Amino acid sequence: MEFMPGRCIRDTYKCLILGDSGVGKSTFLRRHATGQFEEQHVPTYGLNVHTLPLETNYKSVALEMWDVAGDPRHGGLHNGYFFYARCAIIMFDLSSASSAASVAHWQRQLADICGKQLPVVVCGNKAELKRMCPALLFRQQPNVDYCEMSSRAAWNMEAPLELLCRRLLRLKDLKLISQPVLKPAKDCEFNVAKMRKHMDEVKKKMLPARRDEDDINEILAERDLKQYIVLN
């Protein structure tokens, strides 16, 4: 991986990027850093750390991305990785129900060590693929945002970084600027309107923050949902 030459940016925040093996964590970082899309899944062993410098409409910041192996046999998560983390992305694959079901597990591990206040973005990747069958339900939480993207289609890839920067700098109208325009991967077919509609539906039908399972069951019955995954 090639990255932009080291620049001294005072506002550098450590960001963990977690999620099951194959959801596209390393691809997302490589895409941002070099523009390239790698078709092959080359699993990460242990951990890779890369710094992404970002320009915003307020100031320059950098996210030091800790890209952790999703497969525990390849190293998995160690408690030491969490030290001084300021935020996290939990990624899943929108075409894989098992990776979505794992989001809650990754979030629990994160909260156990970093506390429940850490800014987190739950990020569904591979939005250009056929979506998994269970409906996705996202629970409103004060420090957690939701977005969908596709590294392959180069769609909405700035969203998770922008959402984290907004929370880190406490600036709701912060925007990333000067982001390189990325091209979709070769032969990638996708429909932007459809991808956006799916994402907006999850956000519009967000579950309330209440923890009570009876409340949740009542809402699910109202919506007549047979198959669903509560992400967080």
Residue ranges that bind ligand GTP, judged by CB under 6 A = 19, 21-27, 38-44, 69-71, 125-126, 128-129, 150-152
Picked from ligand GTP, Mg ion, none, the partner binding residue 179 (CB below 5 to 8 A depending on kind) is none
- Output helix, strand, coil percentages for the chain, rounded to the nearest 5: 30, 25, 45
Q: What is the DSSP letter of 102?
A: T
Count of alpha carbons within 13 angstroms of residue 92, beta-carbon side: 27
List the structure tokens of 20. Answer: 């099951």
Q: How far is the CB of 67 from Mg ion (least distance, A)?
A: 6
Amino acid letter for position 177: I
List the structure tokens of 26. Answer: 């390393």
Q: How far is the CB of 149 from ligand GTP (least distance, A)?
A: 7
Long-range contacts of 196-201 (CB under 8 A, 24+ apart): 198/94, 198/127, 198/131, 198/148, 199/124, 199/127, 199/147, 199/148, 199/156
What is the size of the binding site for Mg ion (CB under 5 A)? 3
Q: Which is nearer to Mg ion, 77 or 137 (CB)?
A: 77
CB atoms within 10 A of CB 106: 24
Picked from ligand GTP, Mg ion, none, the partner binding residue 21 (CB below 5 to 8 A depending on kind) is ligand GTP
Picked from ligand GTP, Mg ion, none, the partner binding residue 126 (CB below 5 to 8 A depending on kind) is ligand GTP
Q: How far is the CB of 222 from ligand GTP (least distance, A)?
A: 33
Q: How far is the CB of 74 from Mg ion (least distance, A)?
A: 9
Q: How far is the CB of 106 from ligand GTP (least distance, A)?
A: 11
**Among 14, 44, 90, 163, contact with Mg ion (rule: CB under 5 A):** 44
Q: Which is nearer to ligand GTP, 90 or 163 (CB)?
A: 90
Residue nearest to ligand GTP (CB): 70
Amino acid letter for position 35: G
Picked from ligand GTP, Mg ion, none, the partner binding residue 79 (CB below 5 to 8 A depending on kind) is none
Alpha helices of the chain — where are they, by DSSP H?
Answer: 25-34, 97-101, 103-114, 159-169, 192-204, 213-223
Picked from Mg ion, ligand GTP, none, the partner binding residue 22 (CB below 5 to 8 A depending on kind) is ligand GTP
Picked from Mg ion, ligand GTP, none, the partner binding residue 152 (CB below 5 to 8 A depending on kind) is ligand GTP
Query: Which residues, listed in sequence order, are joined to residue 155 by a DSSP beta bridge?
Result: 150
**Among 26, 99, 107, 151, contact with Mg ion (rule: CB under 5 A):** 26
Give the separation between CA 136 and CA 227, rounded to whole angstroms: 9
Point out which residues bind Mg ion (CB under 5 A). 25-26, 44
